[in-house]
Each structure stands twice: as structure tokens, then as C-alpha cells.
Chain A
Amino acid sequence: MTAIAILNGRLIDPAAGVDAAKDILFKDGRVAEIAGAGKLKGKNGAEVLDAAGLIVAPGLIDMHVHLREPGQGYKETIATGTAAAAAGGFTSVAAMPNTSPVNDSAEVTRWMQSPERGGAVRVFPIAAATRGSKGESISDYAALKAAGAVAVSDDGKPILKDSVMREALAAAARVGLTVIQHAEDTRLTQGASMNLGPVSFRLGLRGMSNDSESLIVERDIRLVAELRDAHPHLHVAHTSTAAALTAVRQARRNGLRVTCEVAPHHFLLTDEHVGLYNTHAKMCPPLRSAADRDAMIEGILDGVVDAIATDHAPHATHEKEVEFEQAPNGVIGLETALGLSLRWLHGEWKMPLGRVLSLLSAQPAALLGLKGRGTLAVGSLADAVVFDPKAEWTYRAAESKSKAKNTPFDGWPMLGKVRWTIGEGRIAYAGA
């Protein structure tokens, strides 16, 4: 296997506490050597990447994507979705199980990881928490974990029944898996297509209350507390309300293992961005009020938010060109997460680069238990992103590597351009 030497860059590896000018050598898919600038010993024969003026960081990890395979290849394939991931600086993505069929089996879990899928970067399946994601009986967590699943979730749907959620948390704890909950009380959101508030009233659309999210988060935390001795890990997907974040914060103070993620659209946009029925601003949970959006920013800055995850949800163009209430939920996000996070979290809100990168790599790696990822310490996997932190550019959805173009960020200015994405020692993406 070829070796790659990245020279003259600024290495930021938050997990290892490194932020310094370093040369780094990848060999046989792993980090072989790190040395001060110009001091790398084993670089003979290696492909050299000049990272002068660039940042070298652990490859980004998105713990929440929808790759649509098996079954919905017209929206996205594992090949196209991971190509978009690589272009966005991601070297690992965790794929949700709401495929067709639902990934509730070891067979589908293995199929998704097969080299035949043509993945540009590593895919970690998240398996269905219940059979068929029907919320009735839990799936076989031991078998799913053995097949490579890194967590269980019925994402897109919540696990509503207390008894089933309790059993899922307990069973997942026994095999060391995380339960990721899509927190939405669907009994309260029937027929709703956006956030409940003055905007939904004005647009004549039925709205989803904040309660529909926070009540489920609070219920789940009660269950985690009841099961305290079994040490379950609950992770709240795509948190969108201040009340849900408050509940997570309180649970952590009480010593419970409760974590959460926030998507870029939820820390940047509000329900005003639905504008005149823009279906590219329709997702679930919906864009919330400005107060909730601000709470997401606060949560990221003060550390209660554990990860930035995109909830990359591709849909075919014709599926979004319909009446707002009929349009499917979701937006793509793999190619814009880094550029938006750098521009807003770092550029506007002055979050240190290392912390921004940690939310996009080290922390999701820890949440999913991905060994040897999320860091560039010697011996870890050679997953890296090399980017120009000063480059400003404009995102054009039409040029996306994803099959889908459904994004609210088309035409938005971005900060930080990916030059190379390296997955397990191979160049997965090379930008201009």
C-alpha cells in the first residue's frame, strides 16, 4: 500500500491535544509518524501533499446520514452519498436504517458495508432498534453489533411505547450499543408540516409544538434513570428545542449517559426560512423559532451538545417539487457542514477551531465507539481532512456530488475549503 506524507500543515487533533505545525506520514492505512516540520523520517517513496497554509485534522465523522440504500437508489446510493461525504471532508458516516427494507438484520447491515457498494469513505450502519422500525418488538442487537452496527435507532420515527423503549435501552446496554432516538411524539404532530408558531399560523400550515420533541426526550431520560444500574446510553438525534436541550443538560448533571447532536440547519435557520413554502426548508424536526435556534448555538458553545450531525436526507427533485405539506422531510448536508460550522461557529461566534473540529470528529467517534478514528495519533487509522481555513467559497447545490440537490444552503457563502479527504490512507477526494 502506498504511503502519503502531508507536509507543512497545521495539525489540529483535539483528542490528542495537538495544535502545531507538523508533518504527518500515513502508511498501510494508519498514521505511521508525526514529526516537526521537515523532520519526517520515513517519507521516502511516499506521495507528498503540500499542506502549507492548510489545516490537517482527523477525518470528519457524521453520525447521522441517510444513504437510501438498499431500496431507494433513485434518491441516493451509498456510492453517491459517500462521494458527497468525502467532498465535505467526512471519512466516516453512520447510516440510518430507514431503507427499503428497513435495516433490522445482520444481512442488510453487512450488505451496506460491502466493498461492492462503492463507498468512497467508511459506512457504519445504524441498525433498526425495533423490527421493521415498527416500534413493537426490539431487533437482535447482539447479531446486529456482530455484523457491524454501531448503534440502534428507528430514526424517522420515534419509539413511542414506554415498555419498548425501556427494553431497547436495557438490551442495547447489555451489548454496549447506543440507542439513538428521533424524539417526536407523533400523536401530537399528525398532519403538521412545520414548527408551530406565528409563522405556521400565517402560512396556514399545521404546526409541530416544541412539546412534541421535549416530552419524548424527558420520557426517555426518565427511563434511563430507572435503568441507571445497567448504564444505558441514550443519544438524542437532531435536537431542535431549548426544552430538549435543557432536559439533556439536567440528565448529565444527574450523572446519566445522555448525549445529543444538533444539525447545522437547526443552529442556523428558523421557521422564517420556510419563506413562501420552500420545501428545501422542510425537515423533521422542523426549523424552530429564533429562541430555539439561539439555544442550539448556546448549547454548542457551552458544550452540552456532543456532536454536529447533518441528518443528510436526500430526495429526488420531483419529490420536493410538490405542495409543501406533501413534500418529504429532509435536506442534504454533507458538503456544507464544515463550511457552515467554520463560518458561523468559528468565524462569527469565535469558537476555537479545535472545538469545532472535535464536534465533527473526536466526539462522534467517542459516541459511536469508533476505535482508532476521530484522532490522528500515531497508530490510529489514516482518516484525515486537509482544508484551507481561510478560503471563502459559495456552495452550489447543482454541483453537489450527492444525487439530490435538496438543500436550504444553495448559494450560501462558506468558510474553509476541503483540499484533500483521506480515508484509511487513500485519497477519497481531491479538491481544487
Chain B
Amino acid sequence: MNPAGTIARRPRGTPPAPVSPFPYHPGSLLSALDLSVEEVGRLLRRATELEREDPLVRDRILIKRRIALLFYESSTRTRTSFELASKALGADTALISSLSSSIEKGESLKDTGLTLRALGAEAIILRHNASGAPWLLEEATRLPVVNAGDGMHEHPTQALLDLRTILGHLRPGVDAVGPETLAGVTVSITGDILHSRVARSNMLLLPRLGARVLLCGPKELLPELAANAASGVEIERDFENALRQSQVVMMLRIQAERLAGLQLDLDEYKANYQLTGQRLAAHAPQALVLHPGPIIRGLEITAGVADGPQSAILRQVTNGVAIRMAVMERALTAAQGGRA
């Protein structure tokens, strides 16, 4: 790539890479990378404790604290999960969705955030169709912001609840995590990796606990450079090869709304990548099957597998409430001025 073809004139130095221009609020959770392994462990422990806690004691924790749920995209499970988690801790929640607010009239994310803050919001849970939107909101409001999914970028609480589901199955009773907790475990993620924020957050979280992440899918949905995005991540194009190596099989939906003109032959896709009962029995009879939802039965996964004994899809949903209780407690009780 060096057009001059000379080594002698290599530049001596180049400007340094940038550092984050603003300190996060310590309660914010924008990326899975924001959490150290110790912090992940603390959240997992608190999720379990909060889940077991007497509801009448639990709802004193964030009593009357004000949490805004700002949703620019439709959502069933994430929105309800955050709302129930917040309310379980006693917080007041307000839902603002793009279709019934001034966002429709052209209000910017910055102005919407400042308005919510002026209304008394103490934390904002944001779901947005643009990658990076939570950083903009955090910079504008300096409130704790929790990323509930931004564009094609990240969905950190999903990765945490996936981790809780995996640990519950493979490491029952283990309540401390470290860099070796998932050593020897291969998690395959199959499907529309390119457009998936769930895949990105899991890629950034699971390898730090020792897991090997295997990405699987056609080139259109899984570019080669995905393997460079995080360490501990590899690509395996052959689905059955991937299944044979996996203790955890995570399936993803094809995100039709983000394909941007990309043409896919769905019959060919199903032939190569659909998780069927037959494939599962032949290649991964012991594996745990995960899916972040929404599932499209008959496309990436058959109804039989989704409802079958290896599926933990509904357990993931249940775990989501516990994880989000821990995340919202952290959001509103973390001390300002430096994060762990």
C-alpha cells in the first residue's frame, strides 16, 4: 500500500489517537466496553440479589427517582423489561416514543434530552436508530444514559442478560466471574452480524470472560473485517462446523429494515443457516440455544427449536429484567466523578 515503495522516508511520528473528549457519567452504560470484568461481576451479583429481594423492600431502592425511557425505535421486550425493572425498584418512569412526541416535529436529540432533564429526569434509557446516539445524548445532558440499542452499534444490557443466561446454564451456582470463567466455551453467533448491535456487544463482552466467539453467516451479512473488531472473535462460514464447536448457539434475525437495498436469497439463506431440529440434533445436541428476539419462526430458526428443550429464549427475557434492575440501580447510585 506504499506507493513510494520506500522505507527510508517512513514518517517519524504521527499524531496520537484520540482520547474520549468528555468524562462519562459513572452511572452511564453506553458500551459493553464501559464495564470492567469486576463491574460485570458486580452487576451479575446484584441482579441475583435484586431478583430474590422482597418486592416491598426492593421498591425502596429507587423510590420516586425519575427515569425517562426515550425510544426512537419500536420495541417490545427491551422497553417493557427496562420499565418493569425500573418500577420494581420504585422509580417513576415516563415513556417518550418518537411517534407521539415533538421528535415528530423535528426536535433534535439534544433538545429532547435537555427537555427531559428540565422535566426532572435523573436518567435516560435510550433506544435509537442511529449508531452513537447515546454519546450525543450523554454529552448534551450529562445525565446517566443507558444504551438500550443504538443503530447497528451496541446493546450492552442484552449482552449482560445473555451472559447471565449462559452462566446459569454452564456455570450454575457460580456467582463470581473473572477472565477465565468461560474458558473453553465457544459461543457461535449466526445470522445478520453486520447489522446486529447484539452481536457487537456480545463480541466485546464474552471474550473478556474467556469465551471464544465464532461468527457465522454469508459474506453479505458478515464481512471479513468483523473478525478484526475485537480479540477472541473468529469467523466460521460453515454453519454446521460452527454448531459442532459450540456450547452456546445464538441465532440472529435478518434485519430487513437495515438491509439498505441488499438483496438476499432467503431460500438459500434458510438452506445454509436455518437452525432446524435436525441440524441441532446432529451437530449440537447439548448446546444452549439463544436468540435476542424478535424471532422470525421459519426463517432463521424453526418453531420446533425455538420452543424446544434446548431453547433458553424465554429465560433470556426473564433474565433481562434482573439485569436491568442492576443496571438502573447502578445508573442512579453511582457516584459522580470517576468510574470504577
Interface contact A298-B3, CB-CB below 8 Å: yes
B56 lies within 8 A of chain A by Cβ? no
Q: Judging by beta carbons under 8 Å apart, are B2 and A201 in contact?
A: no
* Min C-beta distance of A278 to chain B, whole Å: 7
With A190-B260, A323-B109 in contact, do A242 and B3 touch (Cβ < 8 Å)? yes
* B229-A198 in contact (CB<8A): yes
Docked complex Cα distance between A413 and B294 (Å): 50
Give the residue name and chain of the B residue nearest to A345 (CB).
B11
User: Could you tell me if A272 and B200 are in contact, using CB atoms closer than 8 angstroms?
Assistant: no
Q: Does B309 contact A (CB under 8 A)?
A: no
**Which residues of the partner chain B approach A302 to less than 8 Å between Cβ atoms?**
4, 6, 9
Verify A324–B9 contact, CB threshold 8 A.
no
The segment out of A17-25, A229-237, A289-297 that lies at the interface is A289-297
Q: Find out whether the CB atom of A294 lies under 8 angstroms from the CB atom of B2.
A: yes
B15 at the interface (CB under 8 A from A): yes
Expressed in whole angstroms, the Cα–Cα distance for A204 and B20 within the complex equals 18
Say yes or no: A321-B4 contact (C-beta < 8 A), given A190-B261, A198-B228, A203-B153.
Answer: no
Q: Does B18 contact A (CB under 8 A)?
A: yes
Task: State whether A349 and B136 are in contact (beta carbons under 8 Å apart), knowing that A204-B151, A277-B131, A321-B110 are contacts in the complex.
Answer: no
Main SS at interface, chain A = helix
Q: Does B118 belong to the interface (CB within 8 Å)? A: no
Contact of B20 among A268, A275, A325 (CB under 8 A): A275
| A299–B10 alpha-carbon span in the complex (Å) | 11
* Interface status of B135 (Cβ within 8 A of chain A): yes
- How far apart sit A275 and B226, CA to CA, in the bound complex (Å)? 18
A201 and B19 CA atoms in complex are apart in Å by: 19
B14 within 8 A of A: yes
A277 touches B10 (CB 8 A): no
Does A322 interact with chain B (Cβ within 8 Å)? yes
A204 and B197 within 8 A (CB): yes
Write the nearest CB–CB distance from A293 to chain B, whole angstroms: 7
| Contact code string B102-122 (vs A, CB < 8 Å = 1, else 0) | 000000111000000000000
> Does any Cβ of B come within 8 Å of A176's Cβ?
no
A299-B6 Cα distance, complex, nearest whole Å: 11
Chain B residue with Cβ nearest A248: B3
Q: Nearest residue in A to B22 (C-beta to C-beta)? A: A276
> Once the chains bind, are B3 and A276 in contact (CB under 8 Å)?
no
* Cβ of B25 to closest chain A Cβ, rounded Å: 14
Give the distance to chain A from B132, nearest Cβ to Cβ, in Å.
Answer: 3
Contact call B135/A277, Cβ cutoff below 8 A: yes
Residue B164 interfacial (CB < 8 Å): no
A326: Cβ under 8 A from any B Cβ: yes
CA distance A431 to B220 in the complex (A): 55
Are A323 and B17 interface neighbours, CB within 8 A? no
Chain B residues with Cβ below 8 Å from A197 are 225
Docked complex: A291-317 residues within 8 A CB-CB of B = 291-295, 297-299, 301-302, 304
A279 to chain B minimum Cβ distance, whole angstroms, is 9
A321 touches B140 (CB 8 A): yes
A371 at interface by CB-CB < 8 Å = no
A-chain residues with CB within 8 Å of residue B9 when the two chains form the complex: 298, 301-302, 349
Q: Could you tell me if A242 and B2 are in contact, using CB atoms closer than 8 angstroms?
A: yes
Number of interface residues of A (CB under 8 A): 47
Residue of A nearest to B132 (CB): A277
Docked complex: A192-244 residues within 8 A CB-CB of B: 197-198, 201-206, 242
Of the candidates A191, A204, A268, the one whose C-beta lies within 8 Å of that of B200 is A204
If A204-B131, A323-B128, A348-B13 touch, whether A273 touches B18 (CB-CB below 8 Å) is: yes
Q: Bound state CA distance, A301 and B15, in angstroms?
A: 17
Contact A304–B3 (Cβ < 8 Å)? yes
CA of A413 to CA of B133 in the docked complex: distance in angstroms? Answer: 30
Cβ of A245: which chain B residues have Cβ within 8 Å of it? 3
For residue B150, CB closer than 8 A to chain A, the reply is yes
By the criterion CB–CB under 8 Å, are B229 and A321 in contact? no
B179 within 8 A of A: no
Max chain A CB contacts within 10 Å: which of B9, B15, B136?
B15
**Which chain B residue has the least Cβ–Cβ distance from A301?**
B9
Which chain A positions have C-beta within 8 A of B18? 272-273, 275, 278
User: Which B residues lie within 8 Å of A257 (CB)?
Assistant: none
A252 to chain B, nearest CB (A): 12
- Residues of chain A with a CB closer than 8 A to B130's CB: 323-326
Instruction: Indicate if A186 sits at the interface (CB-CB under 8 A).
Output: no
Q: Can you name the residue of chain B whose Cβ is closest to the Cβ of A302?
A: B4
Query: Is B12 a contact of A348 with CB atoms below 8 Å?
Result: yes
B184 within 8 A of A: no
Interchain CA distance A190-B260 in the complex, whole Å: 9
Q: Chain A residues in contact with chain B, CB under 8 A? A: 190-191, 197-198, 201-206, 242, 245-246, 249, 268-270, 272-273, 275-278, 290-295, 297-299, 301-302, 304, 318, 321-326, 344, 348-350, 412
A-B complex: 10 closest residue pairs judged by Cβ atoms: A204-B153, A277-B132, A204-B152, A323-B130, A204-B131, A198-B228, A298-B4, A291-B1, A275-B18, A246-B3
Q: Can you report 8 residue pairs joining A to B where beta carbons are below 8 Å apart?
A: A198-B225, A198-B229, A201-B228, A277-B136, A294-B11, A295-B4, A299-B3, A348-B11
A204-B154, A268-B15 given; 11 more Cβ-contact pairs under 8 Å: A204-B131, A204-B197, A245-B3, A291-B2, A294-B2, A297-B14, A298-B9, A321-B136, A323-B128, A323-B136, A348-B13
